[in-house]
Amino acid sequence: MLTLSAPWALCLLPLPWLIWRFAPPHRERVSAIRIPFFRRVTKAADVKALPGAVILQRTKFQMVAAILIWAMIVMALAKPERLGEPIVIEKAARDIVLALDISGSMDARDFAAEDDKPQQRLSAVKSVLSKFITARDSDRMALIIFGTRAFVQAPFTEDLPSLQGFLDQTEVGMAGPNTALGDAIGLSLRMFDASDVDERVLILLSDGADTNSRMSPANAAAIASDRGVTIHTVGVGDPDGTGEDKVDLTALQSIADKTGGSYFFANDQAALENVYKEIDALNPRVTETTSFRPRESLVHVPLAVAFIFLICAAAWLQWSRQRAVPA
């Protein structure tokens, strides 16, 4: 599709005619030779003597060439462009942080798989998380792992296959044997500080009670609420366990309630898959769509045509003058 970026320039098309029609003619004095027998010469030539003014006349070819050259120059000023096909770009309108507990207790093999065989907690969680990540094809996501300390495993990215690779590399005990639940929330909030979107979601998965945080989970949740971060918590541990192996379901539910999120508990792989389906329903796909059409400037085309007309007109005039001169 062809279009003009500055169509107002077409208003300049009649400018030469307006100047010719309304501007005073150009006058120029030149030297001349007076001869005493001028009247005899005019009489002999059978011409009528007029005042000394001479009005130069253009040939039809000159007029056509001048009109075409001016039209091409004005067309170039109008900036012709070729518009390409619309290109639609979808940008994530939400940032999601996955905070995954990889403390020592995640090595317990008490998760029931689809074949009812006991499965390692972390292995089951990673399997379900992989499906969840694949379904979030429009979100920016980040991965935090935590144990004794919390670490950024993958920063915010829209390259979800890369995020999947970072998830696959996580192993039990990489961040220490204990559980720093509050520190994981605090690190997530620091990551959200660099986020410029309104909707920010933290999905926090843990199988134990907080035992090693420098910031309590309650304080971290209160700060998250003030900053507009929604936290969904998922408990996957044993509520009847002891010490660090006992999941603190009350704390997880309190964190979710303070931030307007949801709390879930899953004791097998099927329940965990249902948890992420519910989270997916709570946070449907959100995107910001922008579209644009690539523009290719064609200014060089009318300029090239004008230059060709100019060269041809100059060559023709030169040839006409040489032809008019007697040998």
102-139 residue pLDDT tens? 888 888 777 776 666 777 888 888 888 888 888 777 67
- Give the start-to-end residue ranges of the domains of the chain: 2-84+296-324, 89-289
Report how far apart the first and last C-alpha atoms of the chain are (Å, whole number).
Answer: 55
Q: Which residue has the higher pLDDT, 6 or 25?
A: 6
Give the model's pLDDT for residue 89.
65
| Angstrom distances, CA of residue 92 to CA of 86, 136, 288, 314 | 20, 10, 6, 60
pLDDT of 60 reads 82
How far, in Å, CA of 189 to CA of 157, rounded? 16
Q: Collapsing DSSP states into helix, strand and coil, what is residue 3?
A: strand
- Who wins on pLDDT, 196 or 2? 2
pLDDT tens track for 274-303: 888 888 777 666 566 677 778 888 999 999
pLDDT of residue 23: 84
**Gap between the Cα atoms of 99 and 170, Å rounded:** 12
Quickly state the pLDDT bin for 151 (edges 50, 70, 90). very high
Q: How much is the average pLDDT of 248-276?
A: 85
Render pLDDT for 47-85 as a digit per residue (tens, 0 to 9). Answer: 776 666 566 677 788 888 889 999 999 999 999 998 888
**More confident of the two residues 150 and 323:** 150
Domain 89-289 listed as CATH 3.40.50.410 = yes
Across 140-154, 192-206, 263-277, the highest mean pLDDT is recorded for 140-154
Q: Which helix (H) or strand (E) holds 155?
A: strand 150-157
pLDDT the model gives residue 326: 58
CA distances (Å), 168 to each of 126, 135, 153, 235, 306, in order?
Answer: 7, 17, 11, 21, 64
Q: What is the chain's mean pLDDT, rounded?
A: 82
Q: Are 150 and 184 in contact (CB under 8 A)?
A: yes
Q: What percent of the chain has pLDDT over 90?
A: 21
Structure tokens at 262: 């949801």
pLDDT of 145 above 90: yes
DSSP SS3 for 94: strand
45, pLDDT greater than 60: yes
Mean pLDDT value across residues 3-25: 88
Confidence of residue 267 (pLDDT cuts 50, 70, 90): confident
Predicted confidence at residue 242, as pLDDT, reads 62
Strands 229-235 and 199-206: parallel
pLDDT at 38 over 80: no
- Inter-residue contact 78 to 5 (CB < 8 Å): yes
| Average pLDDT for 256-282 | 83
pLDDT band at 305 (very low <50, low <70, confident <90, very high): very high
pLDDT one-digit tens code per residue, 248-257 = 788 888 999 9
Helix (H, G, I), strand (E, B) or coil at 302: helix
The answer for residues whose C-beta is within 8 angstroms of residue 269's C-beta and 6 or more apart is 111, 112, 113, 114, 119, 124, 127, 128
- Confidence at residue 319, expressed as pLDDT on a 0 to 100 scale: 85
246 has pLDDT over 80: no
